[in-house]
């Protein structure tokens, strides 16, 4: 689970002074940000790009040496996969996430991370396969359902996309990205009334994204009246 992965990463960091020192230096320069870096969104909102929080080469080399010294070190492998992911080396990330799952198939959050990496590579079929497993392991994770919906959309499986996005919103009704994505999917199906209903809900808690959706609605409705 996410909590387990976080605890494992922190345990690994505190066991390795060089890693911890590198992160402290980075945090001192750049500060901390809160955000949902794993959320994919449709339309002009675009896919969230991975951010490199571990830019120090010393950190990467240290973790890589740990994996080379002990290829069965589950925590080090997960950390390495996450480093690849954040660098945008998605295929290397996927390959390393698979190594983690070979050691521990129950490490639930890895399915989510790997499926999202597949999605970022444009491999929608693989993303659907792995993110479907993520929703089995993490049924209450709205981001997993949202990203699964996005992957279905890339395959033009719009009904399944709607179903997944609705599941995300059942878990987190004020999930702006999922509501925007659901509206855009309704637009793809030509159901402007359903899309506008999502806009009415979205504007009650996220004005910026609602404004973007309203622009899309206006364009679509304008085309229908021509």
Three-class SS of residue 71? coil
What is the average per-residue pLDDT within 25-44?
36
The yes-or-no verdict on residue 2 having pLDDT over 50 is no
Q: Which 8-state DSSP code applies to residue 47?
A: B
The yes-or-no verdict on residue 16 having pLDDT over 50 is no
Place of tokens 């509501």: 179
Angle at CA 37, nearest 5°, toward 33 and 38?
Answer: 155
What is the average per-residue pLDDT within 96-102?
98
Give CA–CA dist 50/88, Å, rounded. Answer: 6
Q: Which 8-state DSSP code applies to residue 92?
A: H
Calculate helix-pair angle for 90-103, 74-87, nearest 10 degrees: 160
Q: pLDDT digit string (tens) for 208-225? A: 999 999 999 987 665 554
The whole-model pTM stands at: 0.74
Q: How confident is the model at residue 179 (pLDDT cuts 50, 70, 90)?
A: very high
The yes-or-no verdict on residue 24 having pLDDT over 90 is no
Look up residue 107 and give its two tokens.
């490490």
How many CB atoms lie under 10 A from the CB of residue 174?
12
Check the CA dihedral 141-162-128-82 and report its sign.
Answer: negative
């Amino acid at each position: 689970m996410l909590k387990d992965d976080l605890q494992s990463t922190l345990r690994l960091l505190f066991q390795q002074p060089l890693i911890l020192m590198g992160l402290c230096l980075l945090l001192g320069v750049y500060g901390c940000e809160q955000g949902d870096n794993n959320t994919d969104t449709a339309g002009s909102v675009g896919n969230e790009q991975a951010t490199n929080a571990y830019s120090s080469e010393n950190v990467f080399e240290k973790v890589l040496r740990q994996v080379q010294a002990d290829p069965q070190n589950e925590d080090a492998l997960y950390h390495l996969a996450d480093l690849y992911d954040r660098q945008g080396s998605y295929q290397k990330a996927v390959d390393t996430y698979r190594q983690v799952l070979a050691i521990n198939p129950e490490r639930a959050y890895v399915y989510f991370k790997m499926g999202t990496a597949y999605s970022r590579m444009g491999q929608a079929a693989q993303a659907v396969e792995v993110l479907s497993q993520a929703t089995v392991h993490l049924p209450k994770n709205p981001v997993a359902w949202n990203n699964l919906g996005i992957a279905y959309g890339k395959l033009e499986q719009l009904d399944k996309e709607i179903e997944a996005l609705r599941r995300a919103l059942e878990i987190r009704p004020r999930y702006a990205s999922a509501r925007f994505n659901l509206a855009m999917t309704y637009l793809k199906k030509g159901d402007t009334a359903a899309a506008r209903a999502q806009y009415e809900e979205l504007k009650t808690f996220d004005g910026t994204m609602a404004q973007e959706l309203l622009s899309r609605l206006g364009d679509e409705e304008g085309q229908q009246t021509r």
